[in-house]
Amino acid sequence: MSWCTRTLPSFFLVRSIPQDPGGFRRDFRGLALRTHPSDGPPGRLLAICLAAASGFWGLTVLRHALRQSNSFDLGLFDQWVWLISRGLALVSSQSADLPLLNDHGAWLLYGLAPLDALLPTVQWLLAL
């Protein structure tokens, strides 16, 4: 056994990966590896992520319905989305000295503007 195999963890070692007759490649421990990058994440993982995102969005909507959301920030961003969707000047009536693009990440509001033009509701902002 060489010095390298005694001191380094196994994931640093480069070994050939043989292919068995079933089409699976196996690592040095005999575990099957994915060979096609187009397989993507498993469906169960996507379902868990969607369920978690929907659950958190539902809790946010409930918090807003119970009047526990921050009204100044929400009103400011809602007005900016409304102004963008109408093609108006990006000057807020709440804070004229605070331009839209000075706020970090506010460029994401341009993606919400078409949705707000179809259905003007603050729920689009709560989904972010």
Residue 25 tokens read as: 């490649």
Its sign, for the CA torsion 5, 11, 15, 19, is positive
| Identity at 14, one-letter amino acid code | V
pLDDT in tens, 39-50: 566 778 889 999
Q: What is the DSSP letter of 93?
A: S
CA dihedral (94, 97, 99, 102) positive or negative? negative
Q: What is the pLDDT of residue 106?
A: 77
**Cβ count within 10 A of residue 122:** 17
CB atoms within 10 A of CB 91: 14
- For residue range 20-34, what is the model confidence (pLDDT) as tens digits? 555 556 556 666 555
Q: Are 44 and 60 in contact (CB under 8 A)?
A: no
Q: What is the mean pLDDT of residues 87-106?
A: 72
Does position 51 have pLDDT exceeding 90, yes or no? yes
Q: Residue type at 127?
A: A
Question: What tokens appear for 45 in the block?
Answer: 């993982």
- Write down the pLDDT at residue 3: 47
To the nearest whole percent, how much of the chain has pLDDT over 90?
8
Is the pTM for the entire model greater than 0.85? Answer: no
What are the domain boundaries of the chain?
Answer: 3-39, 43-127
- How many CB atoms neighbour CB 57 within 10 A? 14
CA end-to-end span of the chain, whole Å? 54
